[in-house]
Structures are given as C-alpha cells and as structure tokens.
Amino acid sequence: MLDSCYVGAYWPSRRESLDECTQRVSLFLRMLDQLAPSWTQWYHADKSSRNPEGIPVQTDAPEALKTLLLQGMNRATTNKSAIPELGFGFRIWNQSPDNQSTRLHIRCGGDSDAVENMCLMTPPSEGELSEHMADTPLLAQVLECMATAWDPDWGVVSTNLTLNLIPTTQEDETRVGWVTYISRRRGTVPPLPAPVEIRPVGTLGMVIILTPERFSASNPEHIALGRRVRELLERAGLLRQAG
C-alpha cells in the first residue's frame, strides 16, 4: 500500500472549448479503461439524487461528459452565473468501498491564474488494486495516459511524505517524485544517474522513473537520489514554466 499516493498532471492557463475538453476527457477515460477492469465504470455525485453510490458516468457519450464538465464550473457568489475563464471540471470515482475506490479530479480549459488546470488521481489505499498500483509500470502508465490526453507541462507520481523530503526552492516549482513527467516545451532532459529510467511519451515529453523498485520515503538512498535528480533537472531549467 502507498500512503497518500497520487498521480497528478498540471498545466498553466490554457483556454479550451467545452468540445476540446470533452475530447480530452473521453480519450483519458478510454485509456484508463485499458489499464484496469475497475476503471471501466465511474460515478459522480448528483444533488438531485438520493443514491449514495452516485450516478453512473456515460463515458462513451460526449453529451453526458459535456454536461458533467458544465456542472463543475465555478460560479459567481452573487448570481451563480458560470465563470468561463475558470474552466470546466468534475470529480468522479469508481464504485468500490471508500478505501478501495479510485478518485479522479479534473479541472480543464481555464485561462486564469486563479485556478490550476489539472488531472489528479487518488488511488485506493486498500485492496487488490492498491497492491497493483504499487507496481511502477502501472503508475507510470497512468501518468503517460494523463500526458497523452492532456498535454500538461508536468506531472508526478508520489506520496506527500516523499515530496516533503525532496524540497523545492520555489513555491510553484515542478515537483520531483518516484515518477515525474516533463513536457518537451520545457527543454531536453539531461543524462541522469543510474538506476533512473527516462522514456518518451510520443513527441510530447519524457517520463522519469527514479527506481525500478517501490520508492520509499524511509530509504535514505532513494531520497538522496530524488534530491540529486531534482538538482540536475533544476540546472537544466526544466522545473520552471517555459517562457
């Protein structure tokens, strides 16, 4: 089990239409469907429904996905009107007991500094999938799916504890975790020390995997490696937004 593990992809202001965001959501969910059986069906909350298990998401219906994205828009306090520059978004989960559920939070299409566009997965902390998620290939594949669908600036697979042990020098700096994604817009990833693996995600960017075995915050060698890689990426100018 990975304590407080998450997979996240992030990108700055980028105005995209509802149709464009819907296409990205649809692609991402289709890709997840290929990775694990439990990621085939998702659910969302509905205030008008008394069903505590949520409403099924029609992942193969673009209009249903559009409705979901529209429902998640930020709204003005006074008249409740939607604020387009803050983009679209939603939160969904797969139908499992709380500790065995996977949760997704997506925010996209925003072009305001007030919000961050992101795709965030919080995997289960218990159960069979939790153990499977501890396997680097699956975690890296999830991040690669995010990179392919969303074309983010950066992404990371980590635990909160690990991030705290690999400090940053700037508040908005890209974080380095067990698995890190960096867009080619940032530049070229330099040679990194063994056993780090670097592999491309099409022409979009690079995934950096620190260790083939499970990365542990309690392993001093792992943390030292993470800090060294962060230092090398910083020197290459890859931890700050391009431009």
Helices (H) and strands (E) in the chain, counts: 6, 10
Contact status, residue 32 vs residue 26, Cβ threshold 8 Å: no
pTM of the model: 0.92
Structure tokens at 21: 């965001």
- Please report the pLDDT score of residue 2 as a whole number: 47
Q: Is 157 helix (H, G, I), strand (E, B) or coil?
A: strand
> Peptide bond preceding 195: is omega within 30 degrees of 0, i.e. cis?
yes
Length of the chain: 243
Neighbours of 177 (CB within 10 A): 25
Ranges under pLDDT 70 in the chain: 1-4, 47-52, 76, 134-136, 171, 242-243
Q: Quick: pLDDT tens for 29-58.
A: 999 999 999 899 999 987 666 666 789 999
Q: Quick: pLDDT tens for 205-226.
A: 999 999 998 888 999 999 999 9
Looking up tokens 């020098």 gives 169
- Please report the pLDDT score of residue 1 as a whole number: 43
- Please report the pLDDT score of residue 83 as a whole number: 75
- Please report the pLDDT score of residue 3 as a whole number: 58
From CA 9, how far away is CA 28, in angstroms rounded? 12
